Structure 1
Amino acid sequence: MAKVSWIIKIEGTVEGLTFYKIDGVSYVRKKGDISKERIGSEPNFVRTRENNLEFGHSGTSGKALRNALGSMVLKAKDSKLTSRLMGVMLQVKNTDAVSLRGSGRVSVGLETAEGKQVLRGFDFNANAHLNGVLFAPYSLNMNTGVVSLTNFIPSEQVHFLEGATHVSFQSAILVLDFDTKDSEIAYSPIVNKPLNLTLTSVTLTPANIPAGSGQQFFLLLISFYQQVNGVQYSLKNEEYNVLNILEVV
């Protein structure tokens, strides 16, 4: 893989060379000699077809999780979330020890303790990890979905950027079936606190416990704001907000 430093930028395939961009940088590679038709039909490529099926399944599973979380992901993500999440889903799929080769499922992997552990603690924004932003103990009641912070001092127990004046907390419970892609999510009300030395508590209670089949996820969103003339504005395009999977059941 070579970088392209021409003045004229090309995207697509020209004379057997494929030009593409990653994070704004242009690259070029030689187009493969093996046709899609050969890979799709010849016996020699059966393992390639199996790997492609599982790779595609992992990609659609990551997309299903992102879509199910909706606006929460939009408030806390990084530019490489799609590829990072696909990698995690491949790890979850690899914990499926019962399906035939080429038929590994994320849903089956998540039935195991190992599969759950892969997703537990996942941060949707690589620029803002929960354990690098929140330094206060919290509790999660998995029967009610309530997330609590007690004896909490915002300016001492939250790592925040210069200019931030307020921090908001919101929790959610998601039930997602990775086979059918059916999902249901319940959010808590947003709790907004000034970043000061006042001792306070935060209680995040979801509106309900979602029903339905599939995996259950407990999530926490932390967002930062700057107050100007009584109005709060998202800080730095939300690039330092946190969205974390607290628990997977």
Structure 2
Amino acid sequence: MAKSKGIIKIEGTVEDLTFYKHEGEYYVRKKGGIDKNRIANDPNFVRTRENNNEFGTSGHSGKILRNALGTMVFKAKDSRLSSRMLKVMSVVKRYDTTSARGQRNVANGIATPEGKQALRGFDFNGRAELGSVLYAPFELDTATGVITLADVLPAEQILFPQGATHVSFQGAVLALDFETEESSVAYSNVVNLPLNMTLNNITLTPTSVPTGTGQQFFLLMLSFYQEVNAVQYSLKNEEYNVLNILEIV
């Protein structure tokens, strides 16, 4: 793989060269690889077909989770979210000990303690991880979905981006079945605070606690804003926002 430094930027295929853009940079690589028909039918590639099948189902499971959370993900994600989630979903899939090789899936893997642990603590925005932004203790009641934070000093216990004047807290409970793809999500109230030295008690109560045949995901989001003339604006397309999976049951 080579980086393109020419004046004219190309995306696409020209003869046996493929030009593409990745994270703002232009790259070029030579076309190649094994014919896909051979991979699909040759007995020598049975393991490759198995791996490809599990790779595809893991990627689809990540998409199911992202879509189920809706606008929360749109407000707190990075450019590598899909690939990072594919990686962790592939780990979750490995804990499926009941399916044949090539058929292992996230639906079975997430049902195990090890599968839940692999996804627990996942940050949808890799540039703003919960553990590096929020330094205040919190409690989660999985029976009610309520998240509480006591005596929070925003200016001291939150690592906020330059220019931010306010922060909002919001929780969510998601019931998701990766096998049937059925989901239901309930959001909490939003608590918006100025980033100052005033002590605050925060209680985030979801409108309900969705249940289903799959798992329950408990999430916390922090959003940063800058106030100008009494109006709050999101900072730089919300790239500093935090969205974290606190717990899975």
Q: TM-score per shorter chain, which class?
A: over 0.9
* Higher mean C-alpha displacement, 49-58 vs 34-43: 34-43
- 1:140 is aligned to 140
* Higher mean C-alpha displacement, 27-36 vs 111-120: 27-36
Per-residue deviation, residues 36-80 of structure 1 (Å, max 9, x unmatched): 111111111111111110011111111111111111011111111
- 1:177 is aligned to 177
Query: d(CA) in 2 for partners of 1:53 and 1:34?
Result: 17
CA spacing shift, 1:199–1:113, aligned 2, 3 Å? same
Whether 1:216 aligns to 2:216 is yes
- 2:64 is aligned to 64
Per-residue deviation, residues 139-177 of structure 1 (Å, max 9, x unmatched): 000000000001111111111122211110000000111
Structure 1's unaligned 5+ residue stretches are none
Structure 1 segment 190-209 matched on structure 2, within 5 A: 190-209=190-209
Query: d(CA) in 1 for partners of 2:12 and 2:165?
Result: 46
Per-residue deviation, residues 197-224 of structure 1 (Å, max 9, x unmatched): 1111000000001132212100000001
Whether 1:24 aligns to 2:13 is no
Query: d(CA) in 2 for partners of 1:32 and 1:135?
Result: 49
Q: Which secondary structure state, in structure 2, belongs to the residue aligned with residue 167 of structure 1?
A: strand
- 1:239 is aligned to 239
Per-residue deviation, residues 87-116 of structure 1 (Å, max 9, x unmatched): 110111112122101001101111111111
Q: Counterpart of 1:192 in structure 2: which amino acid?
A: N
Q: Counterpart of 1:8 in structure 2: which amino acid?
A: I
Query: d(CA) in 1 for partners of 2:198 and 2:69?
Result: 32
- Per the TM alignment, residue 33 of structure 1 is displaced from its structure 2 partner at its CA by 4.0
Whether 1:229 aligns to 2:229 is yes
- 1:128 is aligned to 128
TM-score (normalizing by structure 1): 0.97
- 1:168 is aligned to 168
What's the RMSD between the two structures over aligned residues?
A: 1.1
Q: Which secondary structure state, in structure 2, belongs to the residue aligned with residue 18 of structure 1?
A: strand
TM-score (normalizing by structure 2): 0.97
Q: Counterpart of 1:15 in structure 2: which amino acid?
A: E
- 2:111 is aligned to 111
Identity %: 65
- 2:102 is aligned to 102
Query: d(CA) in 2 for partners of 1:159 and 1:72?
Result: 20
Structure 2's unaligned 5+ residue stretches are none
How many equivalent pairs are there? 249
- Per the TM alignment, residue 83 of structure 1 is displaced from its structure 2 partner at its CA by 0.5
* Higher mean C-alpha displacement, 8-17 vs 127-136: 8-17
- Per the TM alignment, residue 227 of structure 1 is displaced from its structure 2 partner at its CA by 1.1
- 1:42 is aligned to 42
- Per the TM alignment, residue 15 of structure 1 is displaced from its structure 2 partner at its CA by 2.0
Q: Which secondary structure state, in structure 1, belongs to the residue aligned with residue 209 of structure 2?
A: coil
